[in-house]
């Protein structure tokens, strides 16, 4: 990590330089985080120009709002949050996919042990095959770790809708995993 931050001695120093709009510091922040953040954007938006746009606009926001970073939590976590929000905004622009308020939950069969040994690429592909609405909620709940209440606030939907959409997402993943095993 210290090699990548050169010529800055610490992350704190790097952030302070970014706050002064130091171009070198901004480039280092981008180089360190771009790969991970691209993966985040792709997980929500799929492969294509939307993910790249979200990444670019997300980093523009990072550099313009860096004064707001108070040092509470990790810097990477703060950038990730911005990227997730940017991806959600992109999804929201295309269509409203959260209009179903289904309180019915689905009984989920137990995932097989083999599923636990899936590679990253396979997991990524499985998630990307989900419809955008289910995918968003599965990503927010299962991967980012947000609660249903938080998801409801972020997407302007009810907690029940979030829960039911997660159940549907899990059900779809279950059937896809069965196909993979077969």
Partner 1 sequence: MKKSSGDNWDSLEKNWREKLDSHKEEVPAAIWNQIEKKLDEKKGKAVPFIIHRRQWSWAAVLLISFGVGWWQLSNPNALVDDSKMANHIQTEINAPVQHLPNTSTPELEEISSSTNPNVVSHSEPMPSHDIHSNLNQEPRNTTESIPVIEESKPNTNPVILADNRTFEKEKPASLAKEESVEMLIDIQPSQANNQEKENSYVPEPSKKRHSLFARVVKQLRQAIDGEPVDWQTLKQGDPKLENSIHQVANTYIKTEQVVQRTFQF
Residue 4 in tokens: 């990548």
Placement of tokens 């790249």 in the chain: 52
**How many distinct helices (H) and strands (E) make up the chain?**
9, 0
**To 10 degrees, the CA torsion angle through 174, 146, 50, 97?**
70
Residue 77 in tokens: 């976590």
Q: Does 179 bind partner 1 (CB under 8 A)?
A: no
Residue closer to partner 1 by CB (options 16, 171) is 171
- In the three-class reduction of DSSP (H, G, I as helix; E, B as strand; rest coil), residue 163 is classed as helix
Binding mask 96-115 for partner 1 (x = CB under 8 A): -----------xxxxx---x
Stretch of 3-11, 60-68, 82-90, 92-100 lying at the interface with partner 1 (CB under 8 A): 60-68
CB of 144 to partner 1, least distance (A): 8
Q: Does 180 bind partner 1 (CB under 8 A)?
A: no
Which residues, numbered 25-54, are part of the site for partner 1 (CB under 8 A)?
A: 26-27, 30-31, 34-36, 38-39, 42-43, 52
């Amino acid at each position: 990590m210290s090699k990548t931050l050169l010529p800055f001695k610490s992350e704190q120093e790097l952030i302070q330089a970014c706050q002064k709009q130091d171009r070198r510091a901004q480039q280092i922040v981008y180089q360190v985080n771009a790969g991970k953040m691209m993966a985040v954007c792709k997980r929500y938006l799929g492969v294509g120009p939307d993910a790249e746009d979200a990444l670019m606009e997300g980093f523009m926001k990072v550099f313009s709002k860096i004064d707001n970073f108070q040092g509470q939590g990790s810097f990477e976590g703060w950038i990730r949050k911005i990227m997730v929000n940017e991806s959600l905004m992109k999804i929201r622009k295309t269509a409203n996919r959260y209009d179903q308020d289904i309180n019915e939950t689905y009984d989920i069969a137990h995932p097989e042990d083999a599923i636990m040994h899936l590679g990253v690429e396979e997991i990524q592909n499985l998630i990307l095959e989900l419809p955008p609405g289910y995918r968003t909620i599965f990503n927010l709940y299962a991967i980012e770790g947000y609660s249903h209440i938080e998801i409801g606030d972020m997407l302007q939907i009810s907690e029940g809708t979030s829960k039911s959409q997660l159940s549907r997402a899990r059900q779809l993943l279950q059937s896809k995993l069965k196909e993979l095993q077969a």
